[in-house]
Amino acid sequence: MSDTLKGKIALVAGATRGAGRGIAAALGAAGATVYVTGRSTRQQRSELDRPETIEETAELVTAAGGQGIAAVVDHLEPEQVRALVQRIDREQGRLDVLVNDIWGGERMFSWDQKLWEHSLDKGLRILRLAIDTHIVTSHYALPLMIREPGGLVVEMTDGTADYNAAHYRISFFYDLAKTSVNRMAFAQAQELASHGMTAVSLTPGWLRSEMMLDAFGVTEANWRDALDRQPHFAISESPTYVGRAVVALAADPEAGRWNGRSLSSGQLAQIYGFTDVDGSRPDAWRYMVEVQDAGKPADATGYR
């Protein structure tokens, strides 16, 4: 995928860690100029209190072969987002790819509390982080994008529309957040189609994010050591995998065939032919239905 996006301008909103960082780096490896946003810097951390910084993500983009530009932005603050888009317009005069990956609610939702038991403040904060941020960002970024046809909007979520429609996702607030993002992509697709643009929602599978690796006490280099603790982790994927999915979409001259669709990294790998860093093609959501949810023993054979 080297240089397939050379000359393209991308914004990955929420790129400090996880899928956002993986997507930004993959876009850089394809030659794009990538604006990456987040709230964690070398001087100050967000409430997640993690060591990853937005400056590091920008450096990874540049090291991969693109140009990484870090911007400290709180996407709940409209004026900060407006200023960011104005900066991109001033410096580049265009925006070709928008990835809405803002989240930050990992430590706010409960795994077992019902709606009436869950902290209301945390629940509403989750919805603001997962939904309002995406709306604010698209509101200001889309006028710049529609100047030229061929743009791509990617709404990042957890779970395909079909899977989320049939399965309760952990808790009320998490469920509502992740299903809403799928619908947001569909709605934007209807409004952008006449401008020659494509909007999709995209989900990774079981992501080996920095937080997930820490939770299992492993690193990307030895992640399989976690299988003794959670055998289904065998279907997991690196953030690079979903990053390559975004690159494949952005480089596809016929990406409009996906407009309004809910997609997964594993699904797109089968079509575009990209792999994860280990050369495999994990298909996590098919595995979830056919193996994990079906109560079968963990076995990723035929799924990666």
How far apart, in Å, are the Cα atoms of 287 and each of 63, 93, 172, 237?
34, 43, 24, 13
Please name the helix (run of DSSP H) or strand (run of DSSP E) that holds residue 173, with its range, or none. helix 172-192
| The one catalytic residue among 140, 163, 174, 241 | 174
- Report the distance separating Cα 130 and Cα 128, nearest Å: 6
CA 96 to chain centre: 17
Where are the strands (E) in the chain, listed by range? 9-13, 33-38, 67-72, 97-100, 152-156, 198-203, 262-264
The total of other beta-carbon atoms located within 10 Å of residue 168's CB is: 9
Whether 174 sits among the annotated catalytic residues: the reply is: yes
- DSSP codes of every residue in 88-100: HHHHHS---EEEE
The residues facing 4 across adjacent strands are none
Structural tokens at position 230: 């959670």
CA 224 to chain centre: 23
232: amino acid identity, one letter: H
The catalytic residues are 174
